[in-house]
Amino acid sequence: MLYVNDIFYSIQGESSYSGYPCKFIRLAGCNLECGYCDTKEALDIKNSKPFCIDDIIKSACGSGPDSIKLIEITGGEPMMQNESLELMSKLIKLNYKVLLETNGTISLKKVHPNVIKIIDVKCPSSGHSKEFFFENLKCISQNDEIKFVIGNKGDYDYAKNFITEYSLDSRKLIFSPVEGAVSHGEIAEKILNDGLNVRLGVQLHKIIGLK
């Protein structure tokens, strides 16, 4: 049984899959409380319903056309619920390309190897930069992506230093400015000046007015 906040079909907006149609399963509950969280309704388990895995799969796969084989497990923090591992494995068996959005604070060791992990490294403005689970750096494959949500210049410097310190420059990296806190242009300029090989995240789904 998994607590589900929402199941929907939309445009993926925050990774190298940004722009592609995608089915989403938003699981409820999170172990953090970031000031900039834009999915606060998913943090409280009260805003969810328990579903068995087969019913979730039926509902999510049916939320969009059969031709769409991209599906994302998000939250909240999906790794808070153990059964999310089984859900992902079953979706892989059904030939879905599975994306997992996670805040990086819980072990990812048991996640199916074919799942594409989009792992947050929390920067200081989140209030949770000390909670990253460093063992997760050992579970990152070439397909996975590492996302830094940037709320101010201090966050930018933190992210830049983190990449150097943990030799992540050859990984797929995303710098995603917090809407309204820091301008995309400012972060873009810094990325260009510093010659960082990172993707500027722009939350495409919000620009086009979708969830």
The contact set with ligand SF4 (CB under 6 A) reads 30, 32-34, 37, 39, 43, 75-77, 103
To the nearest whole angstrom, how small is the minimum distance from the Cβ of residue 104 to ligand SF4? 9
To the nearest whole angstrom, how small is the minimum distance from the Cβ of residue 146 to ligand SF4? 15
**Among residues 40 and 110, whose Cβ is nearest to ligand SF4?**
40
**Among residues 44 and 169, whose Cβ is nearest to ligand SF4?**
44
**Checking DSSP bridges between strand 2-11 and strand 49-51, what pairing results, if any?**
antiparallel
To the nearest whole angstrom, how small is the minimum distance from the Cβ of residue 126 to ligand SF4? 6
**Among residues 31 and 114, whose Cβ is nearest to ligand SF4?**
31
**Among residues 169 and 179, whose Cβ is nearest to ligand SF4?**
179
Residues 6+ apart with CB under 8 A from 39: 5, 26, 74, 75, 76
**Among residues 39 and 114, whose Cβ is nearest to ligand SF4?**
39
Map residue 173 onto helix, strand or coil: strand
Query: Helix crossing, 53-61 with 84-93: angle to 10°?
Result: 50
The 3-state secondary structure of 22-79, one letter per residue = EEEEEECCCCCCCCCCCCHHHCCHHHCEEECHHHHHHHHHCCCCCCCCEEEEECCCHH
To the nearest whole angstrom, how small is the minimum distance from the Cβ of residue 128 to ligand SF4? 7
To the nearest whole angstrom, how small is the minimum distance from the Cβ of residue 101 to ligand SF4? 8
User: How many other CB atoms are there within 10 angstroms of residue 61's CB atom?
Assistant: 17
